[in-house]
Structure 1
Amino acid sequence: MLLTIAAPVFAQEGGTASAASSVEYHKWSIIAGAFSLGFAAALCALSQGKAVSAACDGIARNPGASAQIRFALIFGLVLIESLAIYVLLINLIIFFVRWGAH
């Protein structure tokens, strides 16, 4: 997703990377990273809300299975949250790339 947002930056005129173009790459990588992280955080929040709601419904219908439902809920929340952490990690890697050094 990040590369599709930043694609117009890479479609600019070719040549060597000057100081101005490295600043442009850096600026667009920050903007694309902000959009991708916001999108991932919003979808993770929606997914976590739906998971908690479904777990509450399941426990209300069958209180005897609360331990199994709680385990599945926590495991699912960990996997959902890891997606947002992966997006953050990718954004940090792209953010710290030295654009003019390549």
Structure 2
Amino acid sequence: MTNVAFVALACGLIIGLGAIGACIGIGLMGGKYLEASARQPELMNALQTKMFLLVGLIDAAFLIGVGLAMLFAFANPFVG
């Protein structure tokens, strides 16, 4: 395999594993939010604000991984 093939494989792993991790994390957090809002409905607005803030941070971490993978794919610093 060539260096280009390894870079393509690494980019796929970065994006794929990042997407799986973000989806699992957001799914678990959404489930816990539903449980917490069912137990204490009066805290629903405060919990919803915090949940959406964390969803944005989790998604931002995934998008940083996508940006890094695109850097490696199109402006590869490892190819001399």
For normalisation by structure 1, the TM-score amounts to 0.71
| Residue aligning to 1:77 | 55
What is the aligned counterpart of 2:44 among 39, 50, 66?
66
Task: Identify which of structures 1 and 2 has the higher relative contact order when contacts are C-alpha pairs closer than 8 Å and 6+ apart.
Answer: 2
What is the aligned counterpart of 2:20 among 37, 42, 45?
42
In structure 2, stretches of 5+ residues that fail to align are: none
Amino-acid identity (%): 13
State which structure, 1 or 2, has the greater radius of gyration over its C-alpha atoms: 1
Alpha-carbon deviations, 1:51-89, whole Å to 9, x = none? Answer: 000100111011111110000110010011111101000
In structure 1, stretches of 5+ residues that fail to align are: 1-8, 10-23
- The alpha carbon displacement at 1:26 in A equals 1.8
What is the aligned counterpart of 2:68 among 84, 90, 96?
90
Runs ≥4 residues deviating over 6 A: none
For normalisation by structure 2, the TM-score amounts to 0.89
Q: Which amino acid aligns with 1:43?
A: G
Q: State the superposition RMSD in angstroms.
A: 1.4
Alpha-carbon deviations, 1:6-55, whole Å to 9, x = none? Answer: xxx8xxxxxxxxxxxxxx22221011110121111111111000100010
| Residue aligning to 1:13 | none
Equivalenced residues, count: 78
